[in-house]
Amino acid sequence: MSGSKKIIANTFIGDFGQMVESIVISGLSKEVDQAQIALKDCYTDCCATIPSKGVLSVEQFDGETVIKVDPFFYHVDFSLEIQGQLIAKSDLTDVTVRDESLFAKHVDGDVVYRLYEPKASAPRPLILFLHGGGECGTDNLLQLTGTIGAISLAKRFPDMLVLAPQAPDYGIDMQEMFAKMMATGNPYRVCIGAPTNISLGDRGWNRDYVGRVCDLIRKMIAEGRVDATRVYAIGMSMGGAGVITTVSSAPDLFAAAVPICPSMNGDSYPILENWPQVPVYLATAYIDHQAGRHAYILRAVSKLWERGRRDVHYTLFTPEELEQYGIVAAPTLSEREIRAANHNSWVLVLHNEYGILDWMISHQK
């Protein structure tokens, strides 16, 4: 496809992340109909096995060709063939994200974050959203687009601030991070006393970085923008462990916390086992790619229950419950693929299954 053409993908954030809903191409000289367009590697499910139903309609006006599609994953290397010409994902000249504009871009020191702020002038509750491991960086966008999360929370609770910082990667990708963790122990097992992976300069929600995120919240409280009695933390996967770390860093700051499928390791487990006096609701799938996750969580919360902690809750989502949201243990999938799909249990929480979100915002210090 000629480099002079503008090719724009219009996207939205669905249950499993960023989805393409239309492609707009400027400068096509010929008339195009649906039969002349083919999609390749365009999938709709979280395992990237169910193909998109394809092109829904084609409209041409004012020099633009608008191709509406059955929504498919943006983060897969998809392509389209139009009248024999190939358009690869790398040919896109722009990508729009529906509702991204709800969140203003900010940088405070080296804390990169997006903030949704309601129009109300009185101090409002704040929800801190911590993303998972795949969204680390400095682009100040992936924390909105990688998964359902911040945008969904802002639309559900438009009267509250939603703070979505982006964890630093320090130039280290996920494969390098896991190699580093494997060199000092198994990151999928609880090894008490193993070297920490949340120290100064560590990729992700390290204690230094989350401490400065908490400082940012305290500054907004001092400015009269945030209700100090209603600050909440929610996150998934690495962000679930990040919630555990963040609350342990500033337990006086939070009214309630929701760690979803939190990474369980030598850092997060002992904090959870000795959880501070902050109401907490943990949720995860019956099993996922960290096979022992649910057992580690159960052991920790059981010890808290034995100490009389009635403000500690734990839900394990069943296969039937996951299937209601398209997370299906299909016979065509391998055991590894099923477990990877089950990790998306945050979808259920963000749809308020078991009233978990309502439980969270009901708390006040």
Residues 229 and 311 grouped into a single domain: yes
Arithmetic mean of pLDDT, 279-297: 93
Predicted confidence band of residue 120 (pLDDT cuts 50, 70, 90): confident
**The two three-digit tokens of residue 336, written as one number:** 């590894």
Whether 206 and 341 share a structural domain: yes
Domains: count for the chain: 2
Residue 341 in domain:
yes
Nearest Cα to Cα of residue 209 among 271, 131, 284, 264: 131
Is the per-residue pLDDT at 49 higher than 90? no
- Find the range with the poorest average confidence among 126-140, 152-166, 195-209, 233-247: 195-209
Q: Is residue 2 a part of any domain in this protein?
A: no
The pLDDT of residue 185 is 66
1 located within any domain: no
pLDDT grade for 3, boundaries at 50, 70 and 90 = low
> CATH no. for residue 19?
2.60.40
pLDDT of res. 286 = 94
Q: What's the pLDDT at 61?
A: 87
pLDDT reported for residue 187 = 67
Between the ranges 148-157, 265-274, 284-293, where is the mean pLDDT highest?
148-157
Structure tokens at 116: 């949704």
Check whether 11 has a pLDDT greater than 90.
yes
Which range among 115-129, 223-237, 320-334 shows the weakest confidence by mean pLDDT? 320-334
Over residues 103-116, the pLDDT tens digits come to 999 999 999 999 99
Pick from 211-215, 260-264, 305-309, 334-338: least confident: 334-338
284 and 206, same domain (yes or no): yes
Q: Judge whether 1 and 85 are in contact, CB under 8 Å.
A: yes
Same domain, 244 and 136: yes
Which two tokens mark 157?
Answer: 């609770």
Regarding beta strands 85-88 and 55-61, do their DSSP bridges make them parallel or antiparallel, or are they unpaired?
unpaired
DSSP lists the bridge partners of residue 7 as: 25
pLDDT confidence of residue 33: 85
Model confidence at 2: pLDDT above 90: no
Rounded percentage of the chain residues whose pLDDT exceeds 90: 76
The predicted pLDDT at position 105 comes to: 98
**Residue 363, pLDDT above cutoff 90:** yes
- Show which of 65, 97, 129 is a domain's final residue: 97
The pLDDT, as a whole number, for residue 30 is 80
Q: How far apart are CA 118 and CA 127, in angstroms?
A: 12
Model confidence band, residue 333 (pLDDT cutoffs 50, 70, 90): confident
Report whether pLDDT(309) > 70.
yes
Q: Give ∠ CA 18-24-28 in degrees, rounded to 5.
A: 150
Helices 207-222 and 238-249: crossing angle, nearest 10°?
A: 60
Task: Find tokens 């749809």 and name the residue.
Answer: 351
pLDDT digits (tens, 9 = 90+) for 228-264: 999 999 999 999 999 999 999 999 999 999 999 999 8
Structure tokens belonging to residue 98: 């529906």
Return the pLDDT at 329.
Answer: 82
- Containing 301, the helix (H) or strand (E) segment is helix 293-306
| Sheet strands side by side (includes 124-130) | 104-108, 111-116, 161-166, 124-130, 226-236, 256-260, 280-285, 312-317
Span 196-218, pLDDT tens digits:
778 888 889 999 999 999 999 99
In a domain, 351, yes or no: yes
Write out pLDDT tens, residues 18-40: 999 999 999 887 888 888 899 99
**Domain of residue 201, CATH code:** 3.40.50.1820
Average pLDDT taken over every residue of the chain: 92
The reply to whether 295 falls in a domain is: yes
Among candidate residues 97, 116, 140, the one where a domain is terminated: 97
Same domain (yes/no): 169, 219: yes
For residue 194, is pLDDT > 80? Answer: no
Q: Indicate the pLDDT class of residue 224, thresholds 50, 70 and 90.
A: very high
* Domain coverage including residue 42: 7-97
pLDDT at 118: 96
Q: Could you tell me which residues are beta bridge partners of residue 10?
A: 22, 96
In whole angstroms, what is the distance from residue 244 CA to residue 170 CA?
Answer: 22
What confidence tens digit (pLDDT) does each residue in 51-97 have? 999 999 999 988 899 999 999 999 999 999 998 889 999 999 999 99
Q: Kindly state whether residue 234 falls inside one of the protein's structural domains.
A: yes
My answer on whether 273 and 326 are in the same domain is yes
